[in-house]
Amino acid sequence: MKNLRAESIEKIGKAISSRIRRGSLLGLGSGTTMATLLPIIADELTVRKVRPRWVPTSLQISLVAQGLGQETTAMDRPMLDLVVDGADQIDADLNLIKGGGGALFREKVLIGSSKSTIIVADEKKLADRLCSGGVRIPVEAHPFARVPVAERLRMIGGEPRIRIGERGFPFYTENGNLIFDTGFEPVERPSVLEGEIKSIAGVVESGIFTPRPLEVYVIEEDGGYRVLKKN
């Protein structure tokens, strides 16, 4: 049987590649979707003889990019041309929950410094409101502030739990911080909750993203895709 998801991702990769120009500075998100999508984009860029520079958000995706012959770099300009990333959940207004891979701080820096953002996600990631179906918001916090951050998250209606790694120890981000995966009731005003979380002393970043402009490439089950836009 034909792998329809792979077919959809291939179409999306080609569409994104066609928008990349020589000399572009691009942000590269982390996670399995990006690791699957990047080889397709890289192949298309090789055919077109286009060599952009990528700013990766994690060592994992940096190694994938380098293995494909792509140039990676630090963020040496104040503005990126484009960020390509995934998401854990997307609401009806195209607000996002991100950070399942633990790179939310770097992803938010890049998205906040980009002319445009493309998010690639499966249809099942779409929801009316963020936190529907028990999806939790990652909150990156400094270890020194672990106890007060957890208490303040509870005070604003959250149910925080420290992310645990594969060996049973707390998961640490590449920035040396902890992540609280925090449950909330379905969120009516994501930007308000984002501000409340960010105002807590010791919080480094919130996994709520409200970027503009934004395009969401939705991976469809029939092997196609559709594009949702927010300007």
* Those residues with Cβ within 8 angstroms of residue 231's Cβ, 6 or more apart along the chain or in another chain: 212, 213
| Residue 1 reports pLDDT greater than 80 | no
pLDDT, tens only, 126-147: 999 999 999 999 999 999 999 9
Work out the end-to-end distance of the chain between its first and last CA atoms, rounded to an integer number of angstroms: 38
Q: Which one of 107, 194, 196, 215 is the catalytic residue?
A: 107
Is residue 118 within 8 Å of 84, Cβ to Cβ?
yes
Give CA–CA dist 166/224, Å, rounded: 35
> What domains are defined for the chain?
4-126+210-230 (3.40.50.1360), 132-207 (3.30.70.260)
**pTM of the prediction?**
0.95
Give CA–CA dist 54/164, Å, rounded: 30
**Does 107 qualify as catalytic in the annotation?**
yes
Question: Which of the two residues, 218 and 77, has the higher pLDDT score?
Answer: 218
Which of these, 72, 69, 107, lies nearest to 88 by C-alpha position?
107
